[in-house]
């Protein structure tokens, strides 16, 4: 998978992502309906090009006559922002933990790495379901959960980089010049890990989208009146035989976003990490 110049697939993936973000930002201009507007006379209407469809609802309506376009825009906004927030929290938290472990060494490192190993040994959805069951679902807990996903990867990555950086002359020179640890890590080590962290972000982001949509699909994530792509999909499950569009549109959106992000992540990894490139090709 050597990609020296951006190929057509990577360009396509970027366009899809840009469109998704654009729709989430200004999507409300695409439809005159608010997400909560119910048109009880137009329940379960198919997309407008199909027989029985109405021009006012290009992608159809759901079981209480809400416009699918409006719902998709709202779901997209929620799914993207939750995933973005979760990715950021996980990256910052995990990297900090990794720096702390590498800085203090000794028992601090042992304990932190034990927690890292623990989280890596279980599928995260299991941990998430346990916490949701015991603490009850709330938006705050749910976002914290998304932030807890994948932090252990960042922690391992950051710890490893600090350990190897500290052995390098430049780090010792900076310490000798009198820089405190905070300055050393933030100003000098962090820029050196940045590319590895960015690659990790592109790998974590689609996984968080899948986690959020899975939980919301199961009815255990984003709760009404809020909505997310996964929740709309789960809603449509009961209407598969009469209204396939309720499930298919959000599913398609999730699929395109995760696919594009994975393709971009792969391309980015190939470009930023020549070591990995020679190994996987």
Partner 1 sequence: MLRFWLIKLLRTVVTLWLVVTFAFIVLRTSGDPVVALLGADARPDEVEYFRRLWGLDQPLIVQYLNYIVQMATGQFGMSLRDHRAVIDIIAERLPATVELGLTAFAIAAIIGIPAGIIAALRRGGVLDRLIMTIAVFGFALPNFFLGILMILLFSLTLRILPSSGTGTWQHLVMPSITLATFTAGSLARFTRSSMLEVLEKPYMRAAAAKGASFSRRVLFHAFPNAAIPIVTVIGLNLGQLVAGAIVVETVFAWPGIGRLLVVAVSQRDLAVVQGLVLVIAATMVMANLLVDLLYGLLDPRIREAST
**Rounded CA separation 40/180 (Å):** 65
| Least Cβ distance, residue 202 to partner 1 (angstroms) | 13
Q: Which is nearer to partner 1, 32 or 52 (CB)?
A: 52
> 27 by DSSP, 3-state: which?
helix
259 sits near partner 1 (criterion: CB under 8 A) = yes
Cβ 260 to partner 1, closest distance in Å? 8
- Subset of 33-52 contacting partner 1 (CB under 8 A): none
251 binds partner 1 (CB under 8 A): yes
Nearest to 67, CA basis, from 42, 84, 89, 49:
42
Structure tokens at 255: 């699929």
Whole-angstrom distance, CA of residue 9 vs CA of residue 66: 35
Please tell me whether residue 224 binds partner 1 under the rule CB under 8 A. no
DSSP state for residue 184 in the 8-state scheme: I
- Per CB under 8 A, the segment of 27-35, 83-91, 113-121, 162-170 that binds partner 1 is 113-121
Q: Pick the closer one to partner 1 by CB: 181 or 239.
A: 239
**CA 100 to CA 115: how far, in whole Å?**
14
Site for partner 1 in 171-210 (CB under 8 A): 206, 210
Question: Closest separation between CB of residue 34 and partner 1, Å?
Answer: 27
Binding of residue 238 to partner 1 (CB under 8 A) = no
In this structure, what token pair is assigned to residue 12?
A: 């396509």
Member of 91, 233, 264, 267 binding partner 1 (CB under 8 A): 233
Check if the beta carbon of residue 67 is closer than 8 Å to that of residue 55.
no
CA distance 10 to 167: 37
Of 145 and 171, the one with the shorter C-beta distance to partner 1 is 145
Any idea which residue has 């971009």 for tokens?
264
Please report, in angstroms and rounded to a whole number, the separation of the first and last CA atoms in the chain: 6
From 66-74, 93-101, 114-122, 150-158, give the range in contact with partner 1 by CB under 8 A.
114-122
SS3 state at 17: helix
Binding partner 1 (rule: CB under 8 A), the pick from 31, 200, 213, 227 is 213
Judged by CB, which is closer to partner 1: 91, or 264?
A: 264
> Phi and psi of 242, rounded to 5°?
-110, -30
Distance separating alpha carbons of residues 146 and 6, to the nearest angstrom: 31
Q: Site residues (CB under 8 A) for partner 1?
A: 1, 114-115, 117-118, 121-127, 129-136, 206, 210, 213-214, 217-220, 230, 233-234, 237, 240-241, 244, 247-248, 251-252, 254-255, 258-259, 262-263, 266, 279-281
């Amino acid at each position: 998978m050597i990609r020296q110049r951006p190929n057509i697939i990577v360009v396509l993936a970027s366009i899809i992502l840009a469109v998704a973000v654009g729709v989430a930002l200004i999507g409300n201009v695409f439809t005159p309906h608010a997400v909560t507007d119910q048109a009880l006379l137009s329940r379960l209407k198919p997309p407008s090009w199909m027989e029985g469809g109405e021009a006012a609802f290009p992608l159809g309506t759901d079981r209480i006559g809400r416009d699918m376009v409006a719902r998709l825009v709202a779901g997209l906004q929620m799914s993207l922002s939750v995933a973005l927030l979760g990715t950021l929290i996980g990256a910052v938290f995990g990297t900090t933990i990794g720096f702390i472990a590498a800085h203090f060494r000794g028992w601090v490192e042992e304990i932190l790495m034990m927690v890292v190993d623990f989280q890596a040994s279980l599928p995260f959805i299991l941990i998430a379901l346990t916490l949701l069951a015991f603490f009850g679902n709330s938006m705050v807990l749910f976002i914290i959960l998304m932030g807890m996903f994948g932090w252990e990867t960042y922690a391992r990555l950051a710890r490893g980089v600090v350990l190897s950086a500290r052995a390098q002359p430049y780090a010792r020179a900076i310490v000798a010049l009198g820089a405190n640890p905070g300055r050393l890590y933030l100003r000098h080590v962090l820029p050196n890990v940045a590319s590895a962290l960015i690659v990790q972000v592109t790998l974590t982001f689609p996984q968080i989208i899948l986690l959020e949509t899975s939980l919301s699909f199961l009815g255990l994530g984003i709760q009404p009146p809020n909505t997310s792509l996964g929740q709309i999909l789960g809603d449509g499950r009961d209407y598969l035989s009469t209204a396939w569009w309720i499930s298919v549109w959000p599913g398609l959106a999730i699929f395109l976003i995760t696919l594009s992000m994975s393709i971009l992540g792969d391309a980015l990894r190939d470009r930023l990490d020549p070591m990995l490139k020679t190994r996987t090709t």
